[in-house]
Amino acid sequence: MIRILIADDIAENRYMLETLLKGNGYEVVAACNGSEALELARKTPPDLIVTDILMPVMDGFALCREWKADELLKQIPFVFYTATYTEPKDEEFALSLGAERFIVKPKKPEEIVELLHEILDDAHAGRLIPGEPSHKKEKDFLQDYNATLLRKLERKMGQLERSNEALKQEIVERKRIESELLYRNTILATQQEATLDGILIVGGEGRILSFNKRFLEMWGLPSDIITEKSDARMLQSALDKVADPGSFFDKVKYLYEHKDQTSRDVIELKDHRTFDRYSAPIIGDQGQYYGRVWYFRDITEQKKLEEQLRQAQKMEAIGALAGGVAHDFNNILSAIMGYACLLQMKTRPDDAVGDYIDQILAGTKRGAGLTKSLLAFGRKQPMALRPVNINDLIRGFQKMIGRLIGEDIEFTVACAEDSLIVESDAGQLEQVLMNLMTNARDAMPSGGKLTISTSTFTARTDQDEIEQGSYALIAVSDTGSGMDKETQEHIFEPFFTTKEVGKGTGLGLAMAYGIVKDHRGFIRVYSEPDKGTTFKIYLPLTSRPLPVSPKEDEMLLPAGSETILLVEDNANVRLVTGDLLREFGYTVLEAVDGEDAVRVFEENGDRVQLVLCDLVMPKKSGKEAVEEIRKKRPEMKAIFTSGYTAEIIARKGMLEDDINFLSKPVSMIDLIRKVREVLDS
């Protein structure tokens, strides 16, 4: 016998459809929400599922997404049957999730049976191609999902507000022409069980007159706890179990003394649900005060969706901001790095100043890494993964970390004896460790112990959320203030911070989480209040060898005697780059923008062998300037630089695959070698 699964939170709808299908010879199983339906289907897969969309716990859209992602269920036809999501955009979104059909209520019984019979026949005959969900990113799916739900909530709220206003007007009108009996009937008419709002009617002396089923469901109250003899105090004793003590009764008492007032507020329940609470007085045609109507609307999910939308908008803003910040910051770092390189060249090997210069260069590299991390966080730059020895990386910036955390914190490094080689973007991984250690320092304002250790780790199949395999394990432990369970659940969320205003952005751990995930790794936190915190980072080990370090003779930088046209709109970068090139024997002609570059070339065209040009400049871009120069000298060689990343430059249409490009900040070694390489090509 063909088995059909029904999912609908309204009992009458389930009963009607179940009776209809059983009468036509089908075996029927019913569920009251998507989660229950998914559980039933995984135990005993049906031949077809018919589901509503608007349901508690798990709605129809979420059910469809889970269904089509399940290897056991995705071939089974999925049919939406809805009376609330009826717009073309709703159907488009439903079908994009992989559904086979989208049916709008109401339908005649014989039409429903005929449609389902047709779907089953097509499926059994192989004519029905199973719906395939579009491969949307999580962010795109959430945006579409949020847009659909918000559109429905807005329309539903508008309908409810209009219904409530019409209902109040009807009550006032009936009071003018009807007796007390008609008034009582009007109150009963307010109990519309189909509404999403919980409704409670309290009389003039605080006695409960009426309520609807939704009210009891929202507050988790049994139907026999409120009777016609109950009053607000008896109700309060029940509500105290889920809401703050005294809040409801205090509101009732206050509004009884101010009978003409309406009220509206938002209340937070102990189980983290949020209700929008509204009340209005019931006034007779002679001004009599009969009591008050209370409406409770569960806006928990709406609040979550609004917060998700705000977070998504913030992330988009960060992504847009990161590109501009990277350009300016990388220009600053280029100048610092260049001057440090010049100073290093003029410093004797035994000079103590050399150590300071090394720290300046290391700092500029980490600054560039921070910019890359921010761009990666905003998804504007891909990761550059290559084999890295974790132990060497940690030892490399051990001295700087010691200075960062202060003398009142005992800092210990314990690296494994074996090399731990992973595929990593070293700069971004350093940024992760910097964030963790800075947080550890802030958690120990009076001093303590900070330890970073490395070891190997083999994940088994029963390891929670960690895929089976071999990992390099980095543990960062402190003896600071620690965190409770609730805080730990949110620490990796963007903009979440426990620090005071002005002392934390809430981005550090979110960036760390994103970087580790991009390394195909895992990050876990273990903490208790006043017992310290340990962060563990698991990175997959690789068998790829480390890059071979150049031999001493290969490290010698080649000099030259050619003439180079240097085009750079940033004065500091132009000055230091020119000095570096001159140190290696080149003659340098300088230009401040694209138009100036064309002018300088026209005056000195026969002398120039190479154009070293910034891409993004005022008046005329670097690419446009070089194209104009090549009209006169087609063979002219060029190297382009930019404070923007290669990906951003490519999106601007300025970067081609065969172009010679250096991303700022550029090290002296990379610059001199690239210049020689292009000139010799």
Where are the CATH 3.30.565.10 domain residues in the chain? 383-548
Answer with the residue of higher pLDDT: 222 or 115.
115
Q: Name which of 430, 432, 442, 412 is nearest 363 in CA terms.
A: 430
Q: List pLDDT tens digits, range 318-361.
A: 666 666 666 677 778 778 887 788 787 777 777 777 777 777 87
CA–CA gap between residue 333 and residue 351 (Å, rounded): 24
Q: Name which of 10, 54, 8 is nearest 33 in CA terms.
A: 8
For residue 332, what are its two tokens? 């600053």
- The answer to whether residue 376 scores a pLDDT higher than 60 is no
Q: List pLDDT tens digits, range 250-277.
A: 666 667 667 777 888 777 776 677 888 8
Residue 636 CB-density burial (10 A; 0-12 exposed, 13-18 middle, 19+ buried): middle
Q: List pLDDT tens digits, range 107-125.
A: 899 999 999 999 999 888 8
Give the pLDDT score at 550.
52
Q: List pLDDT tens digits, range 648-667.
A: 566 555 566 567 888 888 87
Q: Write out the DSSP string of 224-271.
A: GGS-TT-BHHHHHHHHTTTS-TTHHHHHHHHHHHSTT--EEEEEE-TT
**Contact indicator for 359, 365 with CB cutoff of 8 Å:** no
**Which whole number is the average pLDDT over 463-488?**
85
Write the single-letter amino acid at 224: D
Average pLDDT for the chain: 79
CA–CA gap between residue 562 and residue 176 (Å, rounded): 100
pLDDT-derived band at 21 (thresholds 50, 70, 90) equals very high
CATH number for domain 553-680, candidates 1.20.58.190, 3.40.50.720, 3.40.50.2300, 3.30.420.40: 3.40.50.2300
pLDDT-derived band at 24 (thresholds 50, 70, 90) equals very high
**Contact indicator for 467, 524 with CB cutoff of 8 Å:** no
- Pairing mode of beta strands 448-459, 409-414: parallel
**Which whole number is the average pLDDT over 287-313?**
78
pLDDT-derived band at 530 (thresholds 50, 70, 90) equals confident
Where are the CATH 3.30.450.20 domain residues in the chain? 152-298
Q: Write out the DSSP string of 290-319.
A: EEEEEEEEE-HHHHHHHHHHHHHHHHHHHH
Q: List pLDDT tens digits, range 178-210.
A: 666 566 656 555 545 677 788 888 776 667 777
**Contact indicator for 113, 84 with CB cutoff of 8 Å:** no
For residue 538, what are its two tokens? 């698991």
Q: Write out the DSSP string of 323-366.
A: HHHHHHHHHHHHHHHHHHHHHHHTS-TT-THHHHHHHHHHHHHH
CATH superfamily name and code, 3-135: Response regulator (3.40.50.2300)
Residue 108 CB-density burial (10 A; 0-12 exposed, 13-18 middle, 19+ buried): exposed
- The answer to whether residue 158 scores a pLDDT higher than 90 is no
* Class level of CATH domain 152-298: alpha beta
Q: List pLDDT tens digits, range 574-597.
A: 888 888 889 888 999 999 998 998
For residue 109, what are its two tokens? 């019984």
Where are the CATH 3.40.50.2300 domain residues in the chain? 3-135, 553-680
Name the DSSP class of 388.
Answer: E
Answer with the residue of higher pLDDT: 431 or 3.
3
Cα distances (Å, whole numbers) of residue 467 to 454, 473, 564: 19, 14, 53
For residue 672, what are its two tokens? 């001199």
- The answer to whether residue 549 scores a pLDDT higher than 80 is no
Give the pLDDT score at 22.
92
**Contact indicator for 162, 87 with CB cutoff of 8 Å:** no
Helix (H) or strand (E) holding 649: helix 646-651
pLDDT-derived band at 565 (thresholds 50, 70, 90) equals very high
Q: Does domain 383-548 have CATH number 3.30.565.10?
A: yes
CA–CA gap between residue 358 and residue 362 (Å, rounded): 6
For residue 49, what are its two tokens? 């599922």
* Sign of the CA dihedral running 171, 173, 179, 185: negative
Helix (H, G, I), strand (E, B), or coil: what is residue 215?
helix
CA–CA gap between residue 167 and residue 455 (Å, rounded): 69
